[in-house]
Structure 1
């Protein structure tokens, strides 16, 4: 699934290509995504300028005068720039044609993505049901070790699942959660509520560094992911220490990397570097 670095890379690409341009046409080839694409969209936004391209968690927020498109890339979606009039590929579902021969297409093989519409003048955008309960942005000043520690204090699920839930911090998906926990030397199955202050400090720093590294390399080389220019990222080839490295030697201690399944998602970790230590029960 495209995670925060992939979505942020896509956001920056869309901003560079289309911000400030007037939308000339919106072509919908396949409406049936995670939720049906509203029929009214072309009539509502064509002729209006793309004023802003923002991101909240894994959602892209494209601002026009009448309102905002809320776009999610789902499990395997991407938005890329194409030549106007280019042949439609299989799984190309929606195209936006802007001034200056700029054309953007949504490509989504599994159709788990979404394009929703939020009318300007309704309740604030960030109070939309998909956005209002999201945790803090990991690369913002609001994300601190204290935020992390406070968010997990009553949660008995594993620390990996707590990160994936997105209620404490957003955008730390499956790939980067495994990598961050490895960097912080925390076992992915440790109960979230057992996180110590020292571990929270390490994990906070690891999440930020992992995401920054991924942003600098353009995101992950997911099988289906390309950025807005159609190029894959290179995170795995440069940085990945554990993800999809099952049975290969740990680069720190040479212990073979293990793979387990948590909440139907693959987790990779080093049993040598990430030992599971449970907090001793309190007395009295």
Structure 2
């Protein structure tokens, strides 16, 4: 078999494809090519983190697809929060391009009752709790506070946003060549990075999908549904730890504490939110 050289086959029940070279069955996991990382010394241990990343992303896509099948407009009522950046690294980075296409598709949805009106459907954000970007956000805290104070004089707002361009990232956050042929996140991210200072003083390093795919120098208008996403993030803050959000904190508690009380708390939160 030659991974990455599969021909497209019509998918009909039982949804199987065959390798054009050896005639063997092609499984969904084969497309991710993680079997190439299995060796005699480390076995399959190297694929664990990549598999987890892929499953998290596919679970998100599954929920989006389920809502689309029920009623596309329902997607506007949901905010998807990923614990970490909207990115796929290592062996599963090839999923980034299809996810960009998905984001563009959902962002260009037209109102069935008025085709001239575009209703972007996707509300998704990735939030980071640690790493170089979070450390940089701490270092520029005073500048963000000053910008926030100036913005407060202009009326109602969710906070201030610093879009992170390729040049800015390589100059101030991580080492690299801003003039290189490959920009930061070009092959791995399916959203644009930013630092968001909410009006309550909380600071977040966030990733939100951008229109038209990867942007080396994203502008505010490039981010999909940015106003709604950041307004929701601001309203979900809790004090469990620095810059924590209620659903993320509860989900983390669910996997670290006894399942029964934690799951009940998360269920009560979800039911209360749906009723509102």
What is the TM-score normalised by the length of structure 1? Answer: 0.27
Higher strand share: 1
Higher RCO, Cα 8 Å, sep 6+: 1
Higher helix share: 2
